[in-house]
Amino acid sequence: MNTTETKTGAATLLAASEIKGTKVTNFQNQEIGDIDEVLIEPDMGQVRFAVLSVGGFLGLGSTKVAVPWQSFQIVNERGRMKYLLDATKERLEKAPRVEGRNYERLYPAESAEPIFVYWDVEWVAQPETATR
Amino acid sequence: MKIKLNAIAPLLVIVIVCAGQPFAQGAKNPATNYPALVSASEIKGTHVKNLQNQDLGQIEEVLIEPDAGLVRFVVLEVGGFLGLGATKVAVPWTAFQISQEGKKPKWVLEADKEKLKNAPKVEGKSYQRLYSRADAEPVFVYWKITWIEPAP
């Protein structure tokens, strides 16, 4: 698999409708925002991105970034899921943004792959996606 | 030796036929041809039809295996379809054919009344139960989808 992947301790299936609005904190225990959307690749049902709504975190304006699912560490804290992301202010500031809700843009490999590169997650192309 | 071979031959044929099935491990669902990412929040409430264009019900929840980030199940709320009471079934993601209709995804599941009636049910919101392989794999078997063990 990829080098940065961290095994989550969730030990349960996650209900997509409950992920929206979940707070995300960084490794310094700062709250960096919440999850706005989960984007799924239709062929295999692979979750590609979580769209993170970065609140006023450390003076950044309200902004949305797409982060590969594998970048998150999910910890099960007595039944409640805690989402951790290795992201300082610097890293979030420079992260690829998402404008509006035009998530279609994130589907082709040429738009998606740079985001994986940015977050140090190995890009795994779906067999047919790249050629479409 | 000859007898043994004769006994094995049909099995070999089955293995070869199965290997050519569209839902072999790692294969893309060939019936799915939706050229965009699907927003999880927009899936809930989506109506699912069968190949006979009958409305089977609507999607109630999407269940994600956290380590691999793979959607394991779609929970389908079967309405009063063909006289079945309101009931919820878990169906593997790759059992659905997703195509484009206008700007929206169209969801199709190959299922008649019988198939839905006998399908593994989901009670309440106890989705944790579907996490363990012991509970999840039979659902995959029922829908004829190859079980993919999440990476350790």
Identify the CATH number of the domain in which residue A54 sits: 2.30.30.240
Q: Which of B23, B37, B75, B146 to mutate to test the interface with A (most CBs of A within 10 A)?
A: B37
Is residue A106 within 8 A of residue A129, CB to CB? The reply is no
Is residue A92 classed exposed, middle or buried when 0-12, 13-18 and 19+ CB atoms within 10 A define those classes? Answer: buried
Q: Which of B63, B73, B131 sits opposite A11 (nearest CB)?
A: B131
Please tell me which residue of chain B has the smallest CA distance to A10: B66
Q: How confident is the model at residue B125, as a pLDDT? A: 72
Q: What is the DSSP string of chain A?
A: --TT-------SPEEHHHHTT-EEE-TT--EEEEEEEEEEETTTTEEEEEEEEE-SGGGPPSEEEEEEGGGEEEEEETTEEEEEE---HHHHHTSPB--TT-GGGGSSHHHHHHHHHHTT------TTGGG-
Give pLDDT, residue A58. 66
- Asked whether residue A30 is assigned to any structural domain, the reply reads yes
In this predicted structure, what is the pLDDT of residue B34?
A: 86
pLDDT, residue B106, reads 93
DSSP SS3 for B150:
coil
**A 12-31: CB under 8 A from B:** 12-17, 19-20
Q: Does A115 touch chain B (CB under 8 A)?
A: no
Query: How confident is the model at residue B82, as a pLDDT?
Result: 64
Mean pLDDT for the stretch of residues A5-34? 85
Q: Which of the residues in chain B have pLDDT under 50?
A: 1-2, 5, 10-27
Which tops the pLDDT comparison, A128 or B24? A128
Residue A83 is encoded by which pair of tokens? Answer: 């989402």
Q: For residue A104, give the chain B residue with the closest CA.
A: B36
Could you give all domains of chain B from N- to C-terminal order, each with its CATH number?
A: 28-142 (2.30.30.240)
- pLDDT over 90 for what percent of chain A? 57
Give me the half-sphere count of Cα atoms (radius 13 Å) on the Cβ side of residue A130.
8
Is any Cβ of chain B less than 8 angstroms from the Cβ of A59? no
How many domains, in total, are found in chain A? Answer: 1
Q: Do A45 and B93 touch (CB under 8 A)?
A: yes
pLDDT, average across residues A51-74: 88
pTM of the model: 0.82
In a domain, A24, yes or no: yes
The arithmetic mean of pLDDT across residues A73-99, rounded, is 90
Domain presence at residue A6: no
In this complex, which of B40, B44, B64 lies closest to A13 when CB atoms are compared? B64
Give the residue from A43, A83, A106, A131 with the most B CB atoms within 10 Å of its CB, the best one to mutate.
Answer: A43
Would A66 be classed as within a structural domain?
A: yes
CA-CA distance, B54 to B49, in Å (whole number)?
5
Using CB atoms, which residue from A1, A37, A128 is nearest to B41? A37
A46 interface with B at CB cutoff 8 Å: yes
Segments forming the whole domain that contains residue A34: 16-122
Distance from CA of B151 to the nearest CA of A (A): 8
Q: Is residue A81 part of a domain?
A: yes
